[in-house]
Amino acid sequence: MTPLLTLVFLAALPDADVNYIVVDVHTRQVVQQDWPDAETPIPVGSLVKPFTALASNGPFPDFICKGTIDRCWFAKGHGPEQFRDALANSCNAYFLQLARNVDAHSLAVVAAKFGILPPAAETPEARIGLGKDWQISPVALTRAYCELTSRSVEPRVAEILAGMKLAAESGTASAIGRGALAKTGTASCVAKRKHKGDGFTIVLEPADAPRIAILVRVHGVPGAQASKSAAVLARRLP
């Protein structure tokens, strides 16, 4: 991205306090970046949920999210959900239930396979990205999602990618739209100038055979709002 195009891109973003990293899915090389300390582990919120799902045992369950009473971020509740819906909605209630059946060893194996650190605490909350106990560097996280797409024929991975496709179409990342895979997350802010939280969105496109992965962080907003910035960047990439 040229300096002029970078200025145009930043001027068009709905939020100004943005970091981003772009990775070639096939080579895993960073091709564009505006993210200081991108190798430093940080909390990334719900972006860890797919890896917890891979470490769970048995078929993905159905679940009825009742909202606040089930500790979901969506107060009214998402209602009846299958796995794809829960991932698209980033339903905390669903994933807290799933995470209770994940053991530390299985999750550590999955984390090692995808080149990321496992959570520092053995709690369901940590396993779905709540709090600061699971930290991953932006570069490692983006590459982990690249690896995820390379395993699309594996049954559990196929379900995760289907959920990410739904997230981009009608879920928390609906600002992205059809033709991409996406996942949002909201995490504790680690900047010197603290915000209530930071929004993250990862986008891989095109959906059927991703070539590029984009990770965006926006300070002070939830993940769904960060997806608007990710959408702007995706449209401006060659």
User: For 3-236, which CATH class?
Assistant: alpha beta
Using an 8 Å Cβ cutoff, are 224 and 199 in contact? yes
| pLDDT value, residue 236 | 61
Half-sphere exposure of 87 (CA within 13 A, CB side): 29
Alpha helices in 56-176, H assignment, sequence order: 83-89, 92-99, 104-113, 124-127, 138-150, 155-170
Contact 167, 183 (CB under 8 A): yes
The answer on pLDDT for 143 being more than 80 is: yes
Asked if residue 182 lies in contact with residue 204, where contact means CB atoms within 8 angstroms, the answer is yes
- Tokens representing 132 are 């600061």
Dihedral angle sign, alpha carbons of residues 75, 135, 235, 27: negative
Percentage of residues of the chain with pLDDT beyond 90: 74
Q: What are phi and psi of 22, to 5 degrees?
A: -120, 130
pLDDT tens sequence across 87-132: 999 999 999 999 999 999 999 999 999 999 999 999 999 999 999 9
Distance, CA of 140 to CA of 116 (rounded, Å)? 6
Q: What tokens were used for 169?
A: 């179409």
From 97, 90, 88, select the one nearest 60 (Cα to Cα): 97
Distance CA 215, CA 231 (A): 11
The beta strand positions in the chain, using DSSP E, are 18-24, 30-34, 42-43, 63-65, 79-81, 135-136, 181-187, 198-205, 212-219
Name the pLDDT band for 195 (thresholds 50, 70, 90).
low
| pLDDT tops 60 at residue 219 | yes
The residue among 13 and 127 whose pLDDT is bigger is: 127
Length of the chain: 238
Sorting pLDDT into bands at 50, 70 and 90, what band is 228?
confident
Predicted local distance difference test score (pLDDT) of residue 9 = 40
Question: CA 111, CA 109: separation in Å to the nearest integer?
Answer: 5
Average pLDDT over residues 190-210: 84
pTM for the model: 0.89
* Cα(171)–Cα(210) distance, integer angstroms: 19
Q: Is the pLDDT of residue 226 over 80?
A: no
